[in-house]
Amino acid sequence: MSTLYSSFNAGISGLNANSTRLSTISDNIANSGTIGYKRVVASFNSMMMSGSQYGPFIAGGVRSATVRMIDERGALTNSSNATDLAVSGRGFLPVTSSTAVNSGEPNPPLMLMTTGSFRPDADGLLRNPAGLILLGWPAASDGTVGTFPRDTAGGLEPVRINSNQFASDPTTSITVRANLPATATRSDADGTPNDISMEYYTPLGTTETLNMRFTPTVPATGASNEWLATVTDPTTGTVAGEYRITFDDTPPNGGRILSVTQDPGATGGAYDPVTGEFSVTVDGQDIALNIGMPAGETGLTQMAESFIPVSIDRNGSPVQSLVGVQVDPNGDVKAYYDSGLIRTIAQIPLVDVPNANGLTALDNQTYRVSPDSGAMFLWNAGDGPTGEVIGFAREESTADVAAELTNMIQTQRAYSSNAKVIQTVDEMLQETTNIKR
């Protein structure tokens, strides 16, 4: 009779196992349209009852186990939102809960996800509809990202984008191109200087002016081919730099710069003949002035009889407002301003763990590091094994409805067969009871 009763128990375990499988199938089908959903797979393991191999066989039944296939990645689909993000490799985006951020927790809990539709909330934080906030390493005002620990989330902060954000792009370099009259450095010249006015942008976004005056050196006889270039702040009259520029008067470089020197004690940074630049400081702002290299074709020239300002090019821009944000494949969050300025405001690293399927699954397609997953490591997107961050994209569910429906048919048949086993055992027990009659 023990054999008969073991058949009854085995049938019950079969019903329970297939019920578990049907639960996974129903969950997969329900989430077939859920962005970033990872399908669940039920696996069956046989159970053996200990006993003598010469005795009656005792059915042990079956035990079910479920595994969420987190390491599987769904197809990527395009979207119209620049901060809809997906990962093209095995990495995960770091996120945290808005509750933890709003409560001011110093170390908000780290959660992982493979895709998310993020948009700035009222505080400028990139948040998805489930209230999860994207984390990243903050960038300095010049767009550089410092060094942060890779084995902990301690350096991660919520990525913040202020739609009313303003920025200035101060001028750091000015390129001056002009022709100075060769006749002005002859002995019969009157020594009249020539001025060039150069506008530049300050760190506050205002426009200021520098003046560069070229004063010819008039010799007693012949021609000196030399000019004294004086850079002045016209507002204060402060001299920011003084340089003596000598031009060549022999072929094949006639009319081009021969040398640039400074008198002892002259203000201004040293002239670099490799780049053709020297640096001046005005109100604490360093500006590199490019006048051309010695023997260069595109620098200052001294030819003919006329002073001709050819061009003045500067970088920088006035105060500008934010018009958009995008995330590049390296995880850099770049802010775009209406003047064309592009500035990195944060960097989103990608999290990697040795065993992705060992992560603890949470709500809203998020996961948490566990002992089974192994320790995490933060990689730069595009480096290592984690893949890249893809903007304007979302990851589809890995559940295949056709495959799940096929599994449902198999599960239904298996469940019915186990139910038939229980029914048969019941009939056999009834026959045993009838022996007494």
pTM of the model: 0.74
Q: Note the pLDDT of residue 69.
A: 95
| Per-residue confidence (pLDDT) for residue 304, from 0 to 100 | 93
User: Which pLDDT does position 5 carry in this prediction?
Assistant: 64
Checking if the pLDDT of 35 tops 80, the result is yes
pLDDT score of 166: 73
Q: Round to whole Å and give the CA distance between 384 and 160.
A: 27
Share of the chain above pLDDT 90, in %: 73
Query: Domain residues of the chain, as ranges?
Result: 2-69+398-434, 80-161+345-395, 171-315
pLDDT tens-digit profile of 57-86? Answer: 677 678 888 999 999 999 999 999 999 999
On average, the pLDDT of the chain sits at 91
Instruction: Return the closest-CA partner of residue 292 out of 330, 338, 263, 258.
Output: 258
pLDDT of residue 421: 85
> How confident is the model at residue 375, as a pLDDT?
96
Residue 125 is predicted with a pLDDT of 94
The predicted structure's pLDDT at residue 6: 74
Task: Inform me whether the pLDDT recorded for 1 exceeds 60.
Answer: no
- Top-ranked range on mean pLDDT: pick from 18-22, 294-298, 367-371: 367-371
pLDDT for 93-146, tens place per residue?
999 999 999 888 888 999 999 999 999 998 899 999 999 999 999 998 778 999
Task: Note the pLDDT of residue 142.
Answer: 79
pLDDT for 52 equals 52
Listed residue (96, 116, 102) closest to 34, CA to CA: 116
* pLDDT tens figures, 168-215: 789 999 999 999 999 999 999 999 999 999 999 998 888 999 999 999
- CATH number 2.60.40.10 is the correct assignment for the domain at 171-315: no
